[in-house]
Chain A
Amino acid sequence: MLDWLHAVWPGLEATLALLSPQPPGWGGGLLRGALNSLVIALGAFGLGAVIGTFGALGKLGGGPVTRDLLAVYTTVVRAVPELILILLLYYAGTDLLNQVLALLGRRPVEISGVAAGIGVLGIVQGAYATEVLRGAIQAVPRGQLEAARAYGMSRVQTFRRVTFPAMLPLALPGLSNLWLIATKDTALLAVVGFSELTLETRQAAGSTRAYFTFFLAAGALYLMMTLVSGRVFGWLETRFRRGQAQVRP
């Protein structure tokens, strides 16, 4: 079995040595980077979902000023490249925090890469999530909400018991797309110097000159993340669609 592999691919051993998780190999660094990417993506997606929920509710039920400000937020974030937003929010966020700390008489701090990444990507995700959730909430049949009101439910109760569960299956395809964008957007943090998967890969590739090995390995890791999460979202969708009338044949 292995002899056959060696015949096809003479450099197999060298490749395996490069990718091994023990220190002369770079596999451990890649995996640590992948874990960092995953943590940032999860945090950013969660923060984005929270911002998106409030944003969608504000766009649908807020006052005129709230609505206009939210429109500006979603338009700006969706028109400006993520890379620029990341730089702007990163510098501005650090500056603001340190000015506040200086006012309080504290010493300036260095924001951790993971926290900054989650914050910045979360704000970006929030704009897209606002639109996804707004569309999903609007698609909930009015009759269901009127029925809830007729039963005497408060607005919070209506949202928790009727609107949220009814809109979830409608929002899941959009949210699944957003999650994929979040995992891939973590690569942008490489440009700002956070050691997530793409930057670790570039460092490994740069110092060993084995560009193909490392970029393909990192590509496989990203692909694994996206394929597995595609399955998970598919499962979630069928789960939450139970009890709903089938739209498609």
Chain B
Amino acid sequence: MRGWLRPHRLVLIALALALALWAGWSLRWDWIPRYWQLGVQGLWRTLWLLVLSVVIGFALAVPLGLAQAAGPRWLAAPARWFCTLIRGTPLLLQIWLIYYGIGSLFPQYPWIRQSDLWPLLRQAWPYALTALSLSYAGYEGEVMRGAFRAVPPGQLEAARAYGFSPFAVFRRIWLPQALARALPTLGGETVLQLKATPLVATITVIEVYAVASRVRQDTFIVYEPLILLALVYMAIAGLLALGFRVLERRYTRGLGH
């Protein structure tokens, strides 16, 4: 702490505090009470979109990575193509293709409209979640491919020599080591995923960015909602980075460097 707090830093911190005080004093914040509830709901929606899409996307990324790293060619080639397609096109385009394209196909079929799933398919968030999950799966499939390849083959041979079944080799040896190696990258990618969530506001999912846009449209206040929003995202990104650092410290122990 002593080494961090040097004289020039004190000056910079004082300047930043002065700037924050000036912003709090002279910018307009009177819209906050009116939109507070909406903002919290939006934040909640952003967070669960992030968590669900990361969980689903990662569950898809493990088989995608495994297929590319060790699968037969008829599995590896489609997995590689999926990753190239996702990584080669903008997420915004993917979101619009899924929402406007696939979403406009469903109402044509009466049996879909009469099914129990219809109330779900009429909303926007299932499409947003699908697009975000597929995107995460595409990027992380590539990361996991490298991570699976990086596990030394001797380890797998040793496990097999001990009589582990192929599934046990995967679950006890291969996956944990690949995960430990991929964790730093996954942390960065998860922050990128957080930064991608505001795009779903363009298909009418009211998350925290959409709330800020609404404040701007309703009140013509431009900067204040955007600045507050930037601070919110920075806080979430900081928490994510911290969480991944804890995970890394716990799971990379015993990994030879």
Contacts and interface: CB of A to CB of B under 8 A. Distances in A.
Contacts of A88: 223, 226-227, 230
A159 interface: no
Contact of A201 (B9, B91, B93, B230): B93
A81 B195 contact: yes
B92 A226 contact: no
Nearest to B11: A65
B170 to A, nearest CB: 26
Nearest to B241: A79
Contacts, number: 112
Nearest to A69: B12
Interface stretch (B116-124, B146-154, B231-239): B231-239
A222 B100 contact: no
A205 B89 CA distance: 17
B96 interface: yes
Nearest to B7: A64
A83 interface: yes
B8 A190 contact: no
A153 interface: no
Contact of B89 (A84, A191, A223): A223
Contacts of B229: 84
Interface stretch (A19-27, A110-118, A211-219, A239-247): A211-219
B192 to A, nearest CB: 9
B93 A79 contact: no
A188 interface: yes
Interface string B91-126: 111101100110010000000000000000000000
A171 to B, nearest CB: 18
A227 interface: yes
A68 B90 contact: no
A35 B143 CA distance: 31
B214 interface: no
B202 A81 contact: no
B92 A198 contact: yes
Contact of B97 (A81, A219, A226, A227): A219
A61 B200 CA distance: 41
A10 to B, nearest CB: 17
Interface residues of B, number: 38
A76 B198 contact: no
Interface string A40-75: 000000000000000000000000110011000000
A68 B12 contact: yes
A212 B199 CA distance: 20
B171 interface: no
B160 interface: no
- Interface centre among B90, B222, B233, by most chain A C-beta atoms within 10 angstroms, is B90
Interface string B192-233: 001111110010000001000000000000110011011001
A68 B9 contact: yes
B219 to A, nearest CB: 14
B88 A215 contact: no
Interface string A117-148: 00000000000000000000000000000000
A78 B188 CA distance: 10
Nearest to A188: B92
B189 to A, nearest CB: 12
B169 interface: no
B60 interface: no
A184 B195 contact: no
Contacts of A91: 222-223, 226
Contacts of B84: 223, 227
Contact of B88 (A68, A84, A223): A223
Contacts of A211: 96-97, 100-101, 104
Contact of A187 (B85, B93, B227): B93
6 contacts: A81-B196, A81-B209, A81-B233, A186-B90, A191-B199, A215-B100
Given A79-B234, A84-B230, A223-B88, 20 more contacts: A68-B12, A79-B238, A80-B234, A81-B196, A88-B223, A91-B222, A184-B90, A184-B91, A186-B90, A187-B91, A187-B92, A187-B93, A188-B92, A188-B199, A191-B199, A198-B90, A211-B100, A222-B88, A223-B89, A226-B89
Interface of A: 64-65, 68-69, 76, 78-85, 87-88, 91-92, 180, 184-188, 190-191, 198, 201-202, 205-206, 209, 211-212, 215-216, 218-219, 222-223, 226-227
